Structure formats: C-alpha cells, structure tokens
Amino acid sequence: MALYNNMLLAVELNEAGDRKPTQKALELTKQFGSRLSLVHAIEHISSYGAAYGVAVGADIEGMLQENAKEKMREFAKIFNVPEQDQIVKFGPARIVILEEAERINADLIIIGSHGRHGIRLLLGSTANAVLHGAMCDTLAVRLKE
C-alpha cells in the first residue's frame, strides 16, 4: 500500500517557479503510484483598476481566470493530469491550497519555497502558512533565488 495515494501540487504557472516542485512531484507519484492534482490560486484584484488605466467594467478577473485555466491545461497536458484534477480558484494562495487539499483528501501537499529570511519571513509566506496549516504532510521544495 502506498504511503501517499493522493498528492496536491501547488503551481505558480511559470516555468522557473514550478520546475523543481514539479520534478519532485513526478518522482513521488511514480514511486508511490499516486494520483496527482494541481492547484493554482489567483489573488482577487482590489479596486485599483481605474488608477492604472483599466476601463471601468472590464472583467479583469475573468480574463485572469481564463488565462490561468489555459496555462493550467497546457501545464497539465505535459504531465498527463486530467482536467478534473486541475484546480484554478480565486483567493489567497494559502487558503486555496489548504481548502483544496482537504477537499480532495490529499495525503501530501507539494509546494515551492523561496526560503526567505528576515523581514520577508516576518511578513509570512505561502509555503510557511501551508506547512503550518495543513492537515496532511507537506513537502516544501527549496527554490533557488
């Protein structure tokens, strides 16, 4: 019986940030014969739009979501992750990741970590919040700066 049956990989949908965590997730899914789900969080946009020349009424969040879903489909295709295991949601990343991990009953969350120190650490990080809030094991994969 596999130790990890259901893994959740948090992705940024950019090559540099996702390369190492994805490699680790693929190694582990192969080792344990696990199911892999992908999650990407889109932060809500506040009312800054007009100040930055964005037309009133423009569906910026809708455009962001469609763009993220398309990137997710492309990313998932490379790793043969079916559409039902591709999650793109609005909200703070730490909350989306933790909620989805619980919803899909994940055994392991895999997330990239920049390993920042000092003031950046005091301000918090997604990886740190997930690590301390998860009900399952969490693997923080160190990313090179």
* One-letter amino acid for residue 111 of the chain: I
DSSP 108: E
Helix (H) or strand (E) holding 131: helix 126-133
Under a CB-based contact definition with an 8 Å cutoff, are residues 124 and 20 in contact? no
For residue 109, count CB atoms less than 10 angstroms from its CB and return exposed for 0-12, middle for 13-18, buried for 19 or more: buried
The CATH class for the domain spanning 6-142 reads alpha beta
Which pLDDT belongs to residue 119?
43
Residue ranges, the chain, pLDDT below 70: 1-2, 46-58, 115-124, 145
Please provide the size of the chain in residues. 145
Structure tokens, 134:
């998860």
Which pLDDT belongs to residue 11?
95
Where are the chain's structural domains?
A: 6-142
Which pLDDT belongs to residue 59?
75
What's this model's pTM, rounded to 2 decimal places?
A: 0.84
Cα(63)–Cα(19) distance, rounded to whole angstroms? 25
Phi and psi, residue 90, nearest 5°: -85, 145
Q: What's the gap between Cα 56 and its chain centre?
A: 30
Cα(135)–Cα(101) distance, rounded to whole angstroms? 8
Which pLDDT belongs to residue 115?
63
